[in-house]
Homo-oligomer: A and B are copies of this chain.
């Protein structure tokens, strides 16, 4: 049996590029926490490991070996990414599997890319 958690709304799926018209205060307050969640090298590596993993998803059991960190510390970082709307998660048996939320990453990319043209 698989249990799919209720997924938070992707905070970044909203906005025009930063170079188009200025972000409103409300938009900036919605997006900044998502960028902040990614603004940590362990969390950035976790996102990257998950996205690059076979099938685009990874079990916590696959991730631990890449870090010199305790399991609770890794779980705390994964929760921050999940709460920011950057990961989906699904429990299968005893393990939790994580998948990158492509639309959230894509929206952030579009936001930043507007200025790079």
The verdict on A45 contacting B22 (CB below 8 Å), with A113-B106, A115-B102 known, is: yes
Interface size class of A (residues with CB under 8 A): 35 or more
Residues of B within 8 A of A78 (CB): none
A4 proximity list for chain B (CB < 8 A):
none
Quick one: given A110-B109, A112-B109, are A48 and B23 in contact (CB under 8 Å)? yes
A36 to chain B: which residues have CB within 8 Å? 35-36, 39-40
Q: When A and B form their complex, which 7 residue pairs have the shortest distance between CB atoms, in order from nearest?
A: A106-B116, A36-B39, A109-B113, A35-B39, A19-B51, A109-B112, A28-B41
Given contact pairs A19-B52, A22-B49, A28-B41, enumerate 9 new A-B contacts (beta carbons under 8 Å).
Answer: A19-B56, A23-B44, A23-B45, A28-B45, A33-B39, A39-B39, A105-B116, A106-B117, A109-B116
